Amino acid sequence: MKIHHVLQFALAALVLSGCGKSPVTTESKTGEAPHPGTGQEAVPGKKLNIFCWSEYIPQSLINQFTKETGIEVSVENFSSNEEMLAKLLAGGGNYDLVQPSEYVVGALIKDNLLRPLNRTNLPNLKNISPQFLDRPFDPGNKFSVPFMAGTVGIVVNTDLIKDDIRGFADVFQDKHKQNIVILDDAREIVTWGFLTQGIPINQVTDENLAKVKPLLAKWLPLVKVFDSDSPKTALRNGDAAIGVVWGGEAAILLHEDPKFQWILPSEGTHLIIDSLAIPRTAKNAENAEAFMNFILRPDVSEQISDAFPYLNPNLAARKLLTDGQLANPASFPPDADIAKMQIREDIGQQASKVDELVTALRVQ
């Protein structure tokens, strides 16, 4: 079988073992009665195997889905797209539903590794904002359904840092050495370098990588913590005072303590769309579509935002959120800013060069 270049890179990566499920309890704030369930227990033979980002699907919703449908759900977590790809291609897990980011959806489609969706089983897709549909990585959403969106920005502990922070260049200063947390994601790090130098984020040529190498060589030794899973922890615990983190992680910090400030980098940032998709090898595709439609329900999507406050693409669910949630700038950037954001594309064999560059600079 032909394997697309970004997938070759994933296979070359070390395959990490999946994390255990992280139960999270969420409660609806609407005051309305919960959606009526059947009260079923898991029915033998009705199964669904999900491979998803950690800290993204509340365990309470997994339990609710089983109660309503009788479908027994097994969840395994990953912490990077490359980890997910490597595990998927290695044949482990027999997954029915995966949660790839936009550029990975495109790569999987190119290699015929996703099953086309039966749209008649997804009536709740109507709840998703057109802003997140029919994107170039999956025209017509034939293979994927938006789950959650977001972006990357800067969080500052204003009790510890009094500087006027506006962009990436302000974060990576000598005076902040060993006080910085950033995402442990090579493509992200290179993206920040590109944005700082005005290079479109998908023009990952050898020449452009060479252009940003000196900048990244200066930046990376200043970093104390690399964490793609939960970078908010270092900021919350005081191990770092400034960081470049996922918007949803930042939103939690802003809600917890007003000392934290969120900044969209002046150099620009990109829009992330994490989706649900069904591998071509899935054994329980109909159950996967049932789960997709369940996730697209407003009352369910609202609970996801309660637990993990990323940019929710579900317009019907947003009507159930509080004014405070909608006003959190890390969760919901202005539409004018979103319109300026670039979306990452599959960069083929250059993905391995991105990883090699960042890895080499980190060990210097």
pLDDT at 242 over 50: yes
Q: What is the CATH number of domain 5-149+273-333?
A: 3.40.190.10
* Residue extent(s) of CATH 3.40.190.10 domains in the chain: 5-149+273-333, 150-270+343-362
pLDDT at 5 over 80: no
Q: Which ranges constitute the DSSP H helices of 70-173? A: 81-89, 102-110, 168-171
Q: What is the mean pLDDT of residues 106-127?
A: 95
- Residue 37 binned pLDDT confidence (cut-offs 50, 70, 90): very low
Looking at residue 16, what is its pLDDT? 34
Looking at residue 40, what is its pLDDT? 52
- The CATH number of domain 150-270+343-362, selected from 2.60.210.10, 3.90.1150.10, 3.20.20.370, 3.40.190.10: 3.40.190.10
- Residue 42 binned pLDDT confidence (cut-offs 50, 70, 90): low
Q: What is the mean pLDDT of residues 35-44?
A: 49
- Spatial distance between the Cα atoms of 307 and 29, rounded to a whole number of angstroms: 12
Residue with tokens 């070390």: 14
Q: What is the mean pLDDT of residues 125-153?
A: 97
- Spatial distance between the Cα atoms of 183 and 195, rounded to a whole number of angstroms: 16
- Spatial distance between the Cα atoms of 70 and 40, rounded to a whole number of angstroms: 5
Q: What is the mean pLDDT of residues 119-124?
A: 98
- Spatial distance between the Cα atoms of 227 and 232, rounded to a whole number of angstroms: 9
Query: pLDDT (tens digit, 9 = 90+) per residue, 161-214?
Result: 999 999 999 999 999 999 999 999 999 999 999 999 999 999 999 999 999 999
Looking at residue 265, what is its pLDDT? 98
Q: What is the mean pLDDT of residues 338-346?
A: 94
Q: What is the DSSP string of 76-99?
A: EEESSHHHHHHHHHTT-S--SEE-
**DSSP reduced 3-state for 173:** coil
Looking at residue 17, what is its pLDDT? 34
**What does the mean pLDDT of the chain come to?**
88
- Residue partners of 339: CB distance under 8 A and separation at least 6: none
- Residue 85 binned pLDDT confidence (cut-offs 50, 70, 90): confident
More confident residue, 4 or 285: 285
Q: What is the mean pLDDT of residues 69-82?
A: 90
Looking at residue 18, what is its pLDDT? 34
pLDDT at 83 over 70: yes
- Spatial distance between the Cα atoms of 307 and 129, rounded to a whole number of angstroms: 21
Torsion of CA 251, 189, 81, 53, to 10 degrees: -20
Share of the chain above pLDDT 70, in %: 87
pLDDT at 39 over 80: no
Tokens, residue 129? 């904002």
Q: Enter the pTM of the model.
A: 0.85
- Spatial distance between the Cα atoms of 316 and 262, rounded to a whole number of angstroms: 26
The separation between CA 332 and the C-alpha centre of its own chain, rounded to angstroms, equals 15
More confident residue, 20 or 329: 329
**Within a 13 Å sphere around the CA of 20, how many CA atoms are in the beta-carbon half?**
3
pLDDT at 260 over 70: yes
Looking at residue 35, what is its pLDDT? 42
Looking at residue 53, what is its pLDDT? 87
- Spatial distance between the Cα atoms of 83 and 151, rounded to a whole number of angstroms: 20
Other residues' Cβ atoms within 10 Å of the Cβ of residue 155: 28
- Residue 332 DSSP label: S
